[in-house]
Each structure stands twice: as structure tokens, then as C-alpha cells.
Structure 1
Amino acid sequence: MYIWIYLAAAVALGIVVAMQPLINAVLARATGSPITAATISILVAFLGSLVLFGLGDRGDTSRAALASVPWWVYLAGLIGTAFVAGGVVIAPATGALLFFLCVVGGQLLGAALADHFGAFGLEHRPLSLLRLAGLALVLAGVILVRRG
């Protein structure tokens, strides 16, 4: 029963995430700079995360726990920065549907490679012909949307 609540929440998150680069593009037009728009968006996200941090379960934020992870783990935040800044520029040029179809395609390709190589402690799940066919269907979707 509860799984439907999570699935509905995931769909709702997907809808609002689809709006994020478009809203940020409005800010970029107003400020004359996609970098300014991305910076403001990320600043607001940071402030929101601070509120959640203050209200929620913080886990183990000791120096020892934070020092126990490899240094490159902290670069993951740059992925969010690249997505926000890239979305501000790319989504208005491609349209929201094509932009997100390409993003999802890239996510699926990245996930398939992570599975194939067992990256970041994942169980090794080799690329099969069926998995490659699924990725090809996403690419076909990109082509169809671009031509439509």
C-alpha cells in the first residue's frame, strides 16, 4: 500500500525537476547570466538543505566519519552544479522534453556502465544484449522526439 505513495512522490519529484531548468532559464534571462541563475538556484538549494539538516537525522558527521570517505566523494556536489548550470543553457535550446530524454538516456547509460563494472561497490551486472537493446530504445526515443 505504502509503495504507491512513494511512487506518486517520485512522479511528483520528476515533474518538478523537469521544471527546474526552465524556471532557472527565466532567472538567467532576467539577470542576463546563466551562471548567476545557477549560483542563485544552488544557493537556495544549499539554504534548503541546511534547514533539512537542522530538522532531520544528521547521521554521523564527526570528523572521523567524514575523513573516512575518499576525497573524490565530495566532488559529487559538482555534478549537481553541472546539471543546474547546464540545464539553464541547454533546456531552452532543446526544449524540456528532448533535454530530459537525453538526461535520462545519459543516466541510464551511466547506470549500465556502473552495473557492468561494479562501480562504487555495486554488484557486477554485465551488459547483455537485452540491456543494450533497452538503451538503444532510449536513443530511438531521442531521435523520434527530435524529428517530431
Structure 2
Amino acid sequence: MHAALHMLAAVLVGALLSLQPSMNAMLARAVGSAYGASAISIGVAFASILLVVAVIGAGRVTVGTLTAVPWWIYLAGVVGTIFVASGVVIAPVTGALVFFVCIVTGQMLGSLIADHVGAFGLAVREINSMRVFGITLVCLGAIIVTRW
């Protein structure tokens, strides 16, 4: 049941996430800049997580722990910025559904490779025919929602 609750939580987060590009696009229209809206959105996210850290704690954030990881690990923040900014720019053109179907397709392809090689400490889960079949279905879904 533990995994099922986490999966449900992920679905709920996904549903919330589907609203973000449209909300940020509305903000972009108001401020006249997709990137300005992205900066505001990320600023609000930063303030929000600071509040969470203040209440729950930050763990072992020290100079030692921060310097112990490779420098490129911090590029994860850049990935978040790219996602937010691309949503503001792309979703108004494609619509939310096509944007997210394409995002999910890319996530699944990237995840397939990450699992296969055990990237970033993940357990190795080799590519097999059922995984490829599942991703093929997602890719077909992406094609279907963009064409019809």
C-alpha cells in the first residue's frame, strides 16, 4: 500500500503540474515577458521551499555536504528553470495536453535510459520488450493527441 500512496501522490502532483504552464503564461501576458514570468514563478517557488525548510528542516546542508557532490549535480536547478520557461513559451502554442504528452514522452525515454544504466545511483532496470512496448504506446498517444 505504501507504493500505491506514493503513486497516487505523484498523480496528484502531476495534475497540479499540468496547471503551471497555463498559469505562468497568463502571468507572462500580464508582465509582457515569458522569461520575466518564469523568474517570478521560480522566485515564488524558492520562497515556498524556504518556508517548508523553515518548518521541516533542511537536513545536513553544510559547506562539506555541498562540496562533496560533483558540481554538475547543481545543474538540476537549471533543468527546473528550463522546464518552467519552456512551459511558458511552448504550452500557449501547443496547448497543455500536447505540451505534457510530449514532456511525458521525453521523460519516459530519458527514464528508460537512466534506469538501464543506473544513472545517479538508481538501481539498474534493464531495457526489455515490455518497457519498450509501454513507451511505444506513450509515443503513439503523443502522435494521436497532436493529430486529432
Bin the TM-score by the shorter chain: over 0.9
Structure 1 equivalent of residue 13 of structure 2: 13
Residues 111/7 of structure 1: CA separation in 2 closer, same or farther (3 Å cut): closer
**TM-score of the superposed pair, with normalisation by structure 1:** 0.92
Query: Equivalents in 2 of 1:57, 1:71: separation in Å?
Result: 23
User: Following TM superposition, by how much is the alpha carbon of 1:99 offset from its aligned partner in structure 2, in angstroms?
Assistant: 0.6
Query: Equivalents in 2 of 1:117, 1:63: separation in Å?
Result: 30
Residues 25/109 of structure 1: CA separation in 2 closer, same or farther (3 Å cut): same
| Equivalent position amino acid for 2:68 in 1 | S
Task: Point out the more displaced range, 17-26 or 52-61.
Answer: 52-61
| Equivalent position amino acid for 2:31 in 1 | T
| Equivalent position amino acid for 2:78 in 1 | L
Structure 2 equivalent of residue 22 of structure 1: 22
Query: Equivalents in 2 of 1:49, 1:43: separation in Å?
Result: 10
Q: Whose relative contact order is higher, 1 or 2, with alpha carbons under 8 Å and at least 6 apart?
A: 2
User: Following TM superposition, by how much is the alpha carbon of 1:145 offset from its aligned partner in structure 2, in angstroms?
Assistant: 0.5
User: Following TM superposition, by how much is the alpha carbon of 1:124 offset from its aligned partner in structure 2, in angstroms?
Assistant: 2.2
Structure 1 equivalent of residue 62 of structure 2: 62
Aligned length: 148
**TM-score of the superposed pair, with normalisation by structure 2:** 0.92
Secondary structure of the 2:25 match is helix
| Equivalent position amino acid for 1:83 in 2 | F
Secondary structure of the 2:127 match is coil
User: Following TM superposition, by how much is the alpha carbon of 1:3 offset from its aligned partner in structure 2, in angstroms?
Assistant: 6.0
User: Following TM superposition, by how much is the alpha carbon of 1:125 offset from its aligned partner in structure 2, in angstroms?
Assistant: 2.1
Structure 2 equivalent of residue 131 of structure 1: 131
CA RMSD of aligned residues (A): 1.6
Extract unaligned runs of 5+ from structure 1.
Answer: none
| Identity within the alignment, % | 49
Where in structure 2 are the equivalents of 1:83-102 lying within 5 Å? Answer: 83-102=83-102
Structure 2 equivalent of residue 44 of structure 1: 44
User: Following TM superposition, by how much is the alpha carbon of 1:9 offset from its aligned partner in structure 2, in angstroms?
Assistant: 3.3
